Amino acid sequence: MSSDYPTCLAGVARICINPNLPVSLAGYFHDRVADRVRDDLGADVLVLENGGRRVALVSCDLISITDELQGWVLERVGEELGLAPEAVLISASHTHTAPELRVRDVFPRRQDFLDELPERIAQALREAVAALAPATIHAGQSQAKSFSFNRLNRLKDGSEVFGRANPELVAGPAGPVDPSVQTLAVYGPDRKVRAVVVNFACHPDIIGGGRADFVSADWPGEMRRCLQAVYGV
């Protein structure tokens, strides 16, 4: 890494957001109850600062992010940390083995999880800001062609069906697959990787299925552990 690259300030943090058990899992049309944790759920935070302006990327091992959750987090730390609402992106990995946040008729929510989650994310943001230090950012792109598929099938009669279908009737997928993998790597002055941001389009519903009885970050969690093993981040 050349010292000629422009630098900014970057701070990273991670916090565990495991719920108390048992807990209803989001992502299916029937209620699935987890009574154990297979692997930890987390909120990963990257804060960047340049020219006095800060932005924050927050990735949570959840099915979705509600407007209420975003608002609760910003109420706690927006002004405190100098983060404008438009400068904070809180996203969900979309894992299907995490607690339900939305109001759904058949899925009970754990109020204690809803009460604790905003403060946990806010604390991770505080830790990331406290860790701000000189860094350089490098963007990359590659392809992973063998990991995902389109779940919408076109049948030989021209009709389309979602999900499983008789292979003898299927002509092929009814739409494209995006195999691109985009990355941002954050390096410190010591040329060591401090964080990696990954974007890849693949539904995180790999290990749970309709009978899941555990909490898990699904494949994004496995990918994160691989990156941690290689880069120590």
Under the banding of pLDDT at 50, 70 and 90, the label for residue 189 is very high
Enter the DSSP assignment of 99.
B
C-alpha span between 132 and 206 (Å, rounded):
35
Count of other CB atoms within 10 angstroms of residue 183: 15
pTM over 0.85, yes/no:
yes
Give the position of tokens 């943001």: 125
Name the 3-class secondary structure at 214.
strand
What are the residue ranges of helices labelled H in the chain?
67-81, 111-130, 218-231
Q: Three-state secondary structure along 42-56?
A: EEEEEEEEECCEEEE
Reported as a single tens digit per residue, the pLDDT across 103-147 is 776 778 899 999 999 999 999 999 999 999 999 999 999 999 989
